[in-house]
Structure 1
Amino acid sequence: MINLFNSRKLFVKVICLMLFVTQAQAQVKEQGIIPQPFKIQKNNTVFTFSRSSGIAVGNGIDSDNLTFFNQYFHQLAGYNLPINKTATAIKLNIDSANVEQPEGYKLSVTAKQISITGHDQAGVFYGLQSLVQLLHADARKMTVEGCVVEDHPRFSYRGMHLDVSRHFFKVDAIEKWIDLLALYKINTFHWHLTDDQGWRIEIKKYPLLQSISAYRDETIIGHKRDSPHVFDGKRYGGYYTQEEVKAVVKYAMERHITIIPEIEMPGHALAALSAYPQLGCTGGPYKAATFWGIFDDVYCAGNEETFTFLQNVLDEVLPLFPSKYIHIGGDECPKTKWKTCPKCQKRIKDEHLKDEHELQSYFISRMEKYLNSKGRQIIGWDEILEGGLAPGATVMSWTGEEGGIAAAKQHHDAIMTPEKYVYLDYYQSLYSSEPLAGGGYTPLSKIYNYEPITKELTTDEAKYIKGVQANAWSEYMASPAQAERQLFPRMLALAEIAWTDKGNKNYAGFLKRLRYQQTLLKQLNINSANTFDEITDSLSESAGHEVQLALNTTLPGSNIYYTTDGSAPTLKSKKYSKPFSITASGTVKAAVFSGAKQYGHMYEKDFHLHKAIGKSVTLTNQPKGGYNSGDAFGLVNGVFGNKLYNDGQWYGFNGEDLEAVVDLGKVQTVSQLGINILKYHWQKMWEPQVLTFETSADGKTYTEVYRQTTFNANGINPVHASIKPIQARYVRVKGTNKGIIPPGEYIAGAKAWLLVDELIVD
């Protein structure tokens, strides 16, 4: 039975709380729908509900579901809306000929009638979600402004991922968030149920998964990058019974949301191995991980019992989830243990595999065939491309867009979920008040402006991009309130990427609608973040090689006031009107004022001016990954990178050396040299083996003037080198990369990162 009018939990809140939302209309003038419809045309009419307003339900729509709606309506208006075939006030119909696109709908509101016609049941449901967002309530009168909406989704897959292994969320929280996903037309919930830190689903054949694997001894306090790690000493865990899983799946289906379970393999298996150590390459003992990261102990690919175990697990999982797809992970599987495991090496030989990467492909392909035999398809993270893409597999591209591009070019379905753009565990502002998060930076604007169809794909290849998903990893989400702050309102931006036609997207318009929705989210007791209107900045180089600072806020009708002497800005401070040059070292502070009241947190940025500011920098090796601001200006802009390495100031070299030359423009006296080095071994960020500075007057002959080989601090290591004054035009800095991370260290065998920022010359 499909509940077209949402749940008792959500819809009663939505209807009743429209009273509160309407009170905010004096401040919020743009009501609107999220995600933005394909086409919406407003008119000057208003539909007003009355006791005689009846609901006519067309063929194919279960009228029993309207009972709940009437209960909610009665709580607000004091009367029920009669349901009958001949009612003329509100009409619901399914007509696939009139609405051609799956999940599409037409919503029409005039003074006399509201009608919703859907292509299918989902279409009618989504039409009702749009109607909910358009309702006005005043006293006990409910109205809807006249409009015609024609709408359908851009992508068939519109998803949110939630990790419940690192932190466990109870059923009521999951259902609360499913309600919100449905309201904003998200149709897939990717449930990450197993990982190194905990196994979260009941498997009756393997009871130790519940008694051992579902729990860890303690949990890390603070960030993984900290050294040494600190723990809380408290046993932590939990799991969902199969009956609870069934209830959540049914709950989601009633809201047209498909739940895709993820059972991780072959990596991220420590929790399972802690209960069944014979499934690992060494036989253990193993324990569920108490901190976050990647671990060498994975399922043994040479052990037949591994496949028997996973097949038996899936045999209990499949009846719980009717989804076409089953996610089998496939990501971050170190090959360290496989390389020394006799069983794995025998498997490679017996199966005529080239190496451990092809062994991973064998593992994935074998599990795919098993799931195919059960009538299911697999989805895996983009590492399933290793050793050859398993036939029929769908790639979920997370490390970047390359995996999705590669899959589409091979005519395999792909879902775009790149870490850089749509990870919800990352910071959403750079203010110091921001709660602890994963490390990256994905503000609302960055998510909203992400485009899943890349220019590398032809029109035909683009058809294989089935949708987009935002991922929430819960390492730093210890409570539902913390999780909600990370999820919302960024999931609303993801919803608009996934549903709205590219040509209809507009960030300014989205923000107008979002400000209205924020009031609703608050009344629904959602701990939604509200940092998106706070000051953001950008740095550029002026013609005179000065650093120019631009400030911006998206808050309507507001002004920015700033100071350059480190004092707190007030309405008497300088009013910002255009980018300005930084002419001296010091701290710029700024604040947004709406009328006479300061909005949000105060902005601060420190500047350190020196002789190399704005000068030309030549890099022998180019930075990699997300540690690159796009050009070399960030190395000489006077701003030091933060300890979170997410502000675009850090330059990262993966397995390669640093070699940079600064041209000062003319020969001059140099007596001070410096650079900042980032050292976080738990993040694969290693100090250089050797750091040297060299100077030259002609750019050809260089003289070494400083050398350093030890960097002791965990975090930022500032290098301050006082040298004998020398005449020079060019300064060259070299940093020898650690290369391959040595045995016994975190992610041994991987390439080390060398992160540097700000080449200081004085």
Structure 2
Amino acid sequence: MRCAKRGLKTPIALACLLGLAVDAHAMDTPPIIPLPAQVSMAQGSYAVSAAAVIHVAPGDRAASDAAHYLADLLVRTRGLSLPVIEDATATSRDGIVICSDAAASVAQPEGYVLDVDAKGMRIAARDAAGLFYGAVSAWQLMTPDAAKGAVSVPSMHIADWPRFGWRGLMLDSARHFQQPAEIKQLLDAMAQHKLNVFHWHLTDDQGWRLEIRRYPKLTQIGAWRRPPGDGDTKYGGYYTQAEVKDIVAYATARHITVVPEIDMPGHAQAAVAAYPDIGVTGAQPPVSIDWGVNPYLFNVDDHTIDFLHNVLDEVMELFPSTFIHVGGDEAIKDQWQASAAVQARMHALGIKDEKALQSWFIERMGQYLAQHGRRLIGWDEILEGGVPPSASVMSWRGTQGAIDAARLGHDVVLSPAPTLYFDNLQSHGDDEPTGRLGVQTLATVYKFEAVSSELTSEQAKHVLGAQANIWTEYLTAPWQIQHAAFPRLDALAEAAWTPANERHFDDFIARLPAQFDRYQKMGIDYADSAFAVDMRGQRTDGKVTVTLAAQESSAIIRYTTDGTLPVASSPIYGKPIEAALPVTISATSFAGDGSPLARVRTQRFDAQTLASYDGNALQACPKGDLGLRVPLLPDATSPAPVYNVDLMNSCWRVTNVPLDGAVTMVIDGAWLARNYGLAHDASKVKVRASRTPAGEFEVHLDTCSGPLAASMPLPTDALPGRTYRVTAPLAAHGGTHDLCILSTAPVRGSLSGVSRVSFNSSASRRATP
């Protein structure tokens, strides 16, 4: 069937129809994310009102599905209830027309054509995915702001198709479990970003989340753990096969392929806890409570191989995806090396070392999947010991794994840490939730390029696409996952969909306010970190000088000092604010059109707050790295204090502290669970001699080997989750200094954390009752 066309008469539209490239950045671009491949604007517009109708031809199932999805989105976000009508003359109707067209001018898979003129809007595509994505773009055109009801859509011509066939998002459900409804909300958001692969991490040391009928203990035992410091309370959950089928069907309706990950040969502790006979030692460990790298591996005997093949049988029943992910990462080989049976197996097979044994193991899985018409994909460690011929590679340790695999002729997906690891924080802001402290900004993600310049054009054909990962060791609640994902998911979507030469960060930023409005309507708790205003104050002679800054420099910062909230007419920040103490400053960022880009941040500056340092503002010690921001308890789901820690060296720096008059130092801290599998790095943890039973905080002047300024014994009740306050006199030192805070707590007990460091002057001390 052919969609009737109503030609646009502008020179730019004519250029598009003739196949000439048009630079969308050179004109006002529509509020669509990801940006279409080709856009040309024209004079005029189409007025969409409650009287509008969406037309599809009878029997055009793909068009009907896309039309109903569009209608549902419009009801939820714009308040427009547009009927979907099937009629034989649909393609020649005015209004909104969605039509399958085998001769549509965009021939690429998932591509579509969208035309808008004064009489209506027409979406045509050669496949169902293209129609669906055309409908998503149409929805974005009809939601350019937060208003409800009628909307005017400018006339334009869009010819659009994706740059890559794999546009993915990985969610880790093994470390922390998400309810099926939460998974579906994420799938909806993926569809609205034109992402098409949901990589579902379902098994790991800390939990087996997938029901396997043949092996019920995998979920009866393997899906539950007992968190440290939380008594007998079990944590866990799993997805029944009925729930999985429902989620897969939900994803399929949104043109998303669900790729399951069943980790092997490492990250196997939860499975071995359920069935010790598939482990190496025969011992039954508990389901792990430790994040990181744990020692448990699957055995390599025929019984274990058959066990895993049986698991894969049920996995393939549930997931129709071409690819099945088998992990392959972080499998330390200690248990294999120590096992006489494993060593005998290696000798019998003629395998030279344990890396080659892992390659043999992965190839056994790859061959089994291939016999069933599937393809194996794994993390880039499967390159070690020789690449199994059947394997595709997901590169996470930077991009080199993808480069190496593509040169060898293997298909690759780029998913490198730290750039596309969305459990990394988006800023150093005090109100960022838990996660990894290797900050990955919105701009960093946007600039990511999947195809390395080191690859030839032929090798580059092996790059399937890009994927972001959301690991959930430190993301315990749905709002934290959403905060981590959005709007960085927009940046990823554009990097994976839009032609590289059409991507412009300033233009992307200009399209975000409309997306933020959509997020609010869809109930998505997105991060405003790129536009949040950071305030820093410096006290001088009873006054304070406050600097304001936002991560995204194009944002306009407006502020108030009179107790009101800033609005589009409030003063614009241009230079540091000087004010008498005390003063309360409120500030936020605005787009050029006056739209707020972030929620208002408010901070009071007085003598007490200026002598107090939030733990999130503390820095790493020299040669150290405060790598994590962790919650008070590992499985806490409600907002709670967070603590920046370095697992290898419990040490913090407070910089530029004015010590004139300071007589007492106060540290608010907590005992945190030391639930980290450090494997071969455990010996690198810094151990310090202590003088008291639980250790102490030692405070040194200027450097960590400088004069001792204070010593604060830590409380002996060192169970994870306990907070405390310790105080000590501060040796008399005038001037401004850096302070180094060292913890001498035993490294095999709870981890010490710092939430706040404060200094009391003699005056404030006398005033304290």
1:533 to 525, 531, 534: 531
SS class of match (2:247) = helix
Q: 1:208 to 1:53 in 2, by over 3 A?
A: closer
Please report how far the alpha carbon of residue 644 of structure 1 lies from its aligned counterpart in structure 2 after TM superposition: 3.7
Please report how far the alpha carbon of residue 535 of structure 1 lies from its aligned counterpart in structure 2 after TM superposition: 5.2
Instruction: Name the structure 2 match of 1:219.
Output: 227
SS class of match (1:250) = helix
Contact 1:160–1:190, Cα closer than 8 Å, also in 2:
yes
Contact 2:223–2:237, Cα closer than 8 Å, also in 1:
yes
Instruction: Name the structure 1 match of 2:193.
Output: 184
Please report how far the alpha carbon of residue 458 of structure 1 lies from its aligned counterpart in structure 2 after TM superposition: 1.8
Letter of the 1:293 counterpart: G
CA distance in 2, matches of 1:494, 1:332: 26
Instruction: Name the structure 1 match of 2:268.
Output: 269
Of 590-599 and 514-523, more deviation after overlay is shown by: 590-599
Please report how far the alpha carbon of residue 497 of structure 1 lies from its aligned counterpart in structure 2 after TM superposition: 0.8
Contact 1:531–1:600, Cα closer than 8 Å, also in 2:
no
Instruction: Name the structure 1 match of 2:755.
Output: none
CA distance in 2, matches of 1:476, 1:715: 28
CA distance in 1, matches of 2:80, 2:500: 39
Contact 2:58–2:87, Cα closer than 8 Å, also in 1:
no
Of 428-437 and 87-96, more deviation after overlay is shown by: 87-96
Contact 2:40–2:158, Cα closer than 8 Å, also in 1:
yes
Please report how far the alpha carbon of residue 592 of structure 1 lies from its aligned counterpart in structure 2 after TM superposition: 5.5
CA distance in 2, matches of 1:210, 1:521: 35
2:162 to 132, 153, 168: 153
Contact 1:59–1:93, Cα closer than 8 Å, also in 2:
no
CA distance in 1, matches of 2:470, 2:382: 21
CA distance in 1, matches of 2:233, 2:31: 47
Instruction: Name the structure 2 match of 1:586.
Output: none
Q: 1:525 to 1:560 in 2, by over 3 A?
A: closer
Instruction: Name the structure 1 match of 2:85.
Output: 82
Q: 1:113 to 1:689 in 2, by over 3 A?
A: closer
Please report how far the alpha carbon of residue 486 of structure 1 lies from its aligned counterpart in structure 2 after TM superposition: 1.2
Instruction: Name the structure 2 match of 1:496.
Output: 494
Instruction: Name the structure 1 match of 2:474.
Output: 476
Of 350-359 and 97-106, more deviation after overlay is shown by: 97-106
Contact 1:30–1:516, Cα closer than 8 Å, also in 2:
no
Please report how far the alpha carbon of residue 392 of structure 1 lies from its aligned counterpart in structure 2 after TM superposition: 2.4
Please report how far the alpha carbon of residue 145 of structure 1 lies from its aligned counterpart in structure 2 after TM superposition: 2.4
Instruction: Name the structure 1 match of 2:118.
Output: 111
Please report how far the alpha carbon of residue 93 of structure 1 lies from its aligned counterpart in structure 2 after TM superposition: 2.8
Please report how far the alpha carbon of residue 425 of structure 1 lies from its aligned counterpart in structure 2 after TM superposition: 1.0
Deviations 1:28-86 (A, max 9, x none): x9861000111112223222346474513387544653567667778945663432121
Deviations 1:235-270 (A, max 9, x none): 011111111111111111111100001111000011
Letter of the 1:491 counterpart: L
Deviations 1:208-230 (A, max 9, x none): 112111111x235xxxxxxxxx4
1:170 aligns with 2:179: yes
Q: Map of 1:300-449 to 2, 5 A cutoff?
A: 300-301=299-300, 303-449=301-447
CA distance in 1, matches of 2:311, 2:247: 19
Q: 1:716 to 1:558 in 2, by over 3 A?
A: farther
Instruction: Name the structure 2 match of 1:19.
Output: none
CA distance in 2, matches of 1:441, 1:207: 41
Please report how far the alpha carbon of residue 423 of structure 1 lies from its aligned counterpart in structure 2 after TM superposition: 0.5
Q: 1:714 to 1:104 in 2, by over 3 A?
A: farther
1:242 aligns with 2:260: no
CA distance in 1, matches of 2:48, 2:249: 32
Instruction: Name the structure 1 match of 2:56.
Output: 56
TM-score, normalisation: structure 2: 0.69
SS class of match (2:351) = coil
CA distance in 2, matches of 1:354, 1:71: 59
1:643 aligns with 2:626: yes
1:132 to 133, 139, 163: 139
Letter of the 2:465 counterpart: G
Contact 2:248–2:319, Cα closer than 8 Å, also in 1:
yes
Instruction: Name the structure 2 match of 1:121.
Output: 128
Deviations 1:154-189 (A, max 9, x none): 111000000101111111111111011001100000
CA distance in 1, matches of 2:365, 2:485: 32
Please report how far the alpha carbon of residue 643 of structure 1 lies from its aligned counterpart in structure 2 after TM superposition: 3.1
Letter of the 1:643 counterpart: L
CA distance in 1, matches of 2:465, 2:698: 38
Q: 1:713 to 1:146 in 2, by over 3 A?
A: farther
Of 126-135 and 423-432, more deviation after overlay is shown by: 423-432
Deviations 1:333-389 (A, max 9, x none): 010000011121011101111111111111101111111111111000000011000
Of 418-427 and 36-45, more deviation after overlay is shown by: 36-45
CA distance in 2, matches of 1:140, 1:63: 24
Letter of the 2:521 counterpart: Q
Q: 1:126 to 1:715 in 2, by over 3 A?
A: farther
TM-score, normalisation: structure 1: 0.69
Contact 2:48–2:152, Cα closer than 8 Å, also in 1:
yes
Contact 2:359–2:384, Cα closer than 8 Å, also in 1:
yes
Please report how far the alpha carbon of residue 474 of structure 1 lies from its aligned counterpart in structure 2 after TM superposition: 1.0
Letter of the 2:120 counterpart: Q
Letter of the 1:313 counterpart: V
SS class of match (1:435) = coil
Q: Number of matched residues?
A: 593
Q: Report sequence identity in percent.
A: 36
Deviations 1:500-521 (A, max 9, x none): 1111111121122112111110
Letter of the 2:279 counterpart: G
CA distance in 2, matches of 1:714, 1:195: 36
SS class of match (1:261) = strand
Contact 1:488–1:528, Cα closer than 8 Å, also in 2:
yes
Letter of the 2:479 counterpart: A
Instruction: Name the structure 2 match of 1:665.
Output: none
Letter of the 1:477 counterpart: L
Q: 1:716 to 1:380 in 2, by over 3 A?
A: farther
Considering only aligned residues, what root-mean-square deviation do their CA atoms show, in Å?
4.4
Q: 1:60 to 1:346 in 2, by over 3 A?
A: farther
Contact 2:394–2:413, Cα closer than 8 Å, also in 1:
yes
Contact 1:107–1:150, Cα closer than 8 Å, also in 2:
yes
CA distance in 1, matches of 2:314, 2:685: 50
Letter of the 1:113 counterpart: G
SS class of match (2:167) = strand
CA distance in 2, matches of 1:512, 1:713: 51
CA distance in 2, matches of 1:715, 1:514: 47
CA distance in 1, matches of 2:109, 2:698: 52
Deviations 1:112-143 (A, max 9, x none): 12111113111111111100001159664344
Contact 2:548–2:573, Cα closer than 8 Å, also in 1:
no
CA distance in 2, matches of 1:286, 1:347: 24
Q: 1:536 to 1:450 in 2, by over 3 A?
A: farther
Q: Map of 1:697-716 to 2, 5 A cutoff?
A: none
Letter of the 1:248 counterpart: I
CA distance in 1, matches of 2:589, 2:74: 40
1:282 aligns with 2:281: yes
Instruction: Name the structure 1 match of 2:45.
Output: 46
Contact 1:74–1:80, Cα closer than 8 Å, also in 2:
no
Contact 2:513–2:595, Cα closer than 8 Å, also in 1:
no
Contact 2:586–2:600, Cα closer than 8 Å, also in 1:
no
Q: Map of 1:487-526 to 2, 5 A cutoff?
A: 487-526=485-524
